[in-house]
Amino acid sequence: MRVEVFQPESVTEPRHWVRHDQAFAMATPHLQLGISDAPLMAASDGAYGEVELRAQRKFADARLGALVAAAHAEMAAGFPSGRLFLDSIEQAMAVALVNGHAVRHRPVQIYKGGLGSARLRRIKELVHVKMEDDLSLDEMAQSVGLSTAHFGRMFRKSTGETPHQFVLRQRIERAKAMLRAPDARVLDVAVACGFKTQQHFAQVFRDVCRVSPTEYRQDFLDSEVRYESETGSEDTAVLPAIS
């Protein structure tokens, strides 16, 4: 998905249009987002050779508005969350557009089951191997032989999380394990867990764990000291004499 700032024209209402180089574009007065054909096709389960959107000069859609706001905030922060976050936003926008604004499309197919244990294991292995990389939604879907839209629905049904939420949780769990080492540097932990900046890592860690990475490490080390102290006191305690 392309997210970019542009100079607004005289007409400033939010609008969308179809162009030859991208299936869909949506603009607010200062922000333009381009969605490619692939996620739109995936959202319609590949029902057609093309996805035709209704020709509306402007429209109100609360879900799309929230997704645009999320993309705008990500851009303003310098895109710290990586490809998977924007891929998820793009796919969610594609689903909203196909379901609410397409001229013709198949009803969204309801999948009763989720991903099997073998596919879930493959995904977990991929995430752990490539945790430092900028993993994409398409890469995760291809690893289990599914389309991005199908994979996203099945994954959430199986885990209760979006792929991005799952990867973020795995990164935080690895970070917690690494921070338990007394000589661990927060920057090194952030990089090893796939965060682009130490600031973004600290923000996400605090959101999930309610403490900063430094505070988490200190709390853990303090608890270790207390445990060793209590254990040592028990070992050296003098038992009362038995008469």
- Tens digit of pLDDT for each residue in 116-137? 889 999 999 999 999 888 888 8
Rg (CA), the chain: 24
- Tens digit of pLDDT for each residue in 13-59? 444 444 444 444 555 555 677 776 667 666 665 544 456 666 665 66
The label of the residue with tokens 């090893």 reads 192
User: Per the structure block, which two tokens stand in for 25?
Assistant: 């574009």
pLDDT at 166 over 70: yes
The label of the residue with tokens 């900063």 reads 212
CB atoms within 10 A of CB 5: 11
Type of residue found at 176: K
What is the model's pTM? Answer: 0.62
Q: Which residues contact 5 (CB under 8 A, 6 or more apart)?
A: 30, 31, 32, 75
- 35 φ/ψ angles, rounded to the nearest 5 degrees: -110, 130
- Give 53's DSSP letter: B
